[in-house]
């Protein structure tokens, strides 16, 4: 498993071509121009699977992709990703625009429109600039490449408030997996303002791929928090074209699951590290729970707490905020059993402060990467989540996101 922001050592991936261009989408909205349109195409039909936002307000591309995947789980051929406009809360026009973009991709690649998926990210309530989309699709389809640099270009083209591209890869036998992702804000468990696209040349049945992807998401993208808000557009998509000799079935599914989960975890962690205005990366480990669901519920309450996150930003070991967040998570607790550590430094035992050195506690709280462990003292279940701090820059970025 490998992760980096560069593409210098990407493995060979059979049958996929990808590319990115500046289609003028940002310019249409009066923003500085930059790459804003990416396209991935496969030479063969792909088994495909996806996990989407659980937000009831779903963007047009999410609705279109759900329909296309339901009808063609074994025959997806291409994915188009645009930035600048989320094409969310755009009504029937938005749905028609998403379908038209899929049709234009299909025409350019010589495939059926039902074999095309689309993803969008950007401002909610903004319509796609369709003339620019059409020209961009035509131009992009003519210059797709299997070069490693094309993957990094695509990773950059799908960024919004991200400060760096997110690219990861893994091997499975003679097959490979390559994934890109975007996301920096509007990030919460159960998917977030994030898009992720994974391509692999393994052979696998769509139903098995869906099961493995959902499990990978549950252990990665569903365990990250930047700000606790959930997007209208979240999509995690994987395409498998079967052009390698590696086949995934029930006998080796666990091994493929491990590679896929590791890749997704690297991408998910990269989103948190690049969180809007973030200065700290926090690993939150909840142990001693009765079951995993309760551990996650407590972890999510802590990771989304503005008071906890601002204390991390200030380098203040204000552990009382962590215990308070745990206590309001809706999970039965025994406060007298709680124990808390910052890295390997224990601050709390039996629900009360130890006679610790405050200066040492502050040194731990001021580190750029912190492991916080809360033991509930109730059972054997545990879970790990990843979050970041909440800084002044987060407010500045989101106070002027549209303008």
DSSP calls for 125-183: TPPP-HHHHHHHHHHHHTT-B-SHHHHHHHHHHT-SS-SS-EEEEEEETTEEEEEEEE-
User: What confidence tens digit (pLDDT) does each residue in 240-252 have?
Assistant: 999 999 999 999 9
Mode of pairing for the β-strands spanning 345-349 and 352-353: antiparallel
Nearest CA to 37 among 114, 107, 122, 115? 122
- Quick check: 273 and 281 in contact, CB under 8 A? yes
Question: Which CATH superfamily groups domain 281-399?
Answer: ArgJ beta chain, C-terminal domain (3.10.20.340)
Percent above pLDDT 90 for the chain: 83
The reply to whether 193 belongs to the active site is: yes
pTM score of the predicted model: 0.93
Pick the catalytic residue: 193, 232, 261, 387?
193
CATH code matching the domain that covers 2-273, chosen among 3.30.2350.10, 3.50.50.60, 3.60.70.12, 3.40.50.300: 3.60.70.12
- Give the pLDDT confidence score for residue 194 in this predicted structure: 81
Q: Which two tokens stand for residue 186?
A: 């509007």
**So where are the chain's domains?**
2-273, 281-399
Residue 69 scores a pLDDT above 90: yes
pLDDT digits (tens, 9 = 90+) for 13-56: 999 999 999 999 999 999 999 999 999 999 999 999 999 988 88
Look over the chain and give the mean of its residue pLDDT values, rounded to a whole number. 92
Question: Containing H/E element for 188?
Answer: none
């Amino acid at each position: 498993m490998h992760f980096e922001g560069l593409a210098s050592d990407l493995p060979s991936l059979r049958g996929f071509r990808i590319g990115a261009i500046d289609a003028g989408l940002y310019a249409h909205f009066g923003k500085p121009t930059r790459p804003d349109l990416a396209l991935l195409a496969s030479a063969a039909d792909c088994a495909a699977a996806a996990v989407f936002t659980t937000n009831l307000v779903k963007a047009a591309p999410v609705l279109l992709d759900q329909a296309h995947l339901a009808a063609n789980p074994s025959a997806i051929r291409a994915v188009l990703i645009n930035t600048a406009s989320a094409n969310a809360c755009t009504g029937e026009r938005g749905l028609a625009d998403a379908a038209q973009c899929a049709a234009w991709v299909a025409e350019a690649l010589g495939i059926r429109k039902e074999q095309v998926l689309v993803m969008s990210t950007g401002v909610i309530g903004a319509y796609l600039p369709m003339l620019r989309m059409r020209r961009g699709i035509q131009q992009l389809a003519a210059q797709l490449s299997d070069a490693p640099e094309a993957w990094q270009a695509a990773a950059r083209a799908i960024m919004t408030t991200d400060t760096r591209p997110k690219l990861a890869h893994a091997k499975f036998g003679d097959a490979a997996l390559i994934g890109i992702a975007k996301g920096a804000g509007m990030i919460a468990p159960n998917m977030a303002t994030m898009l992720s696209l994974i391509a692999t040349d393994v052979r696998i049945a769509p139903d098995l791929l869906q099961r493995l992807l959902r499990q990978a998401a549950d252990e990665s993208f569903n365990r990250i928090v930047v700000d606790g808000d959930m997007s209208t557009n979240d999509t995690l998509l994987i395409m498998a074209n079967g052009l390698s000799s590696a086949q995934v079935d029930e006998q080796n599914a666990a091994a493929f699951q491990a590679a896929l989960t590791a890749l997704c975890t690297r991408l998910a962690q990269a989103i948190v590290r690049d969180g809007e205005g973030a200065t700290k990366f926090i690993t939150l480990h909840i142990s001693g729970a009765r079951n995993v669901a309760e551990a996650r519920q407590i972890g999510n309450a802590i990771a989304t707490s503005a008071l906890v996150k601002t204390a991390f930003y200030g380098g203040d070991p204000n552990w009382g905020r962590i215990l308070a967040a745990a206590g309001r998570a809706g999970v039965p607790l025994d406060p007298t059993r709680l124990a808390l550590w910052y890295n390997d430094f224990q601050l709390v035992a039996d629900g009360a402060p130890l006679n610790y050195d405050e200066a040492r506690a502050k040194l731990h709280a001021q580190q750029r990467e912190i492991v916080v462990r809360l033991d509930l003292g109730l059972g054997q279940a545990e879970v790990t989540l990843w979050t970041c701090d909440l800084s002044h820059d987060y407010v500045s970025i989101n106070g002027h996101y549209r303008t």
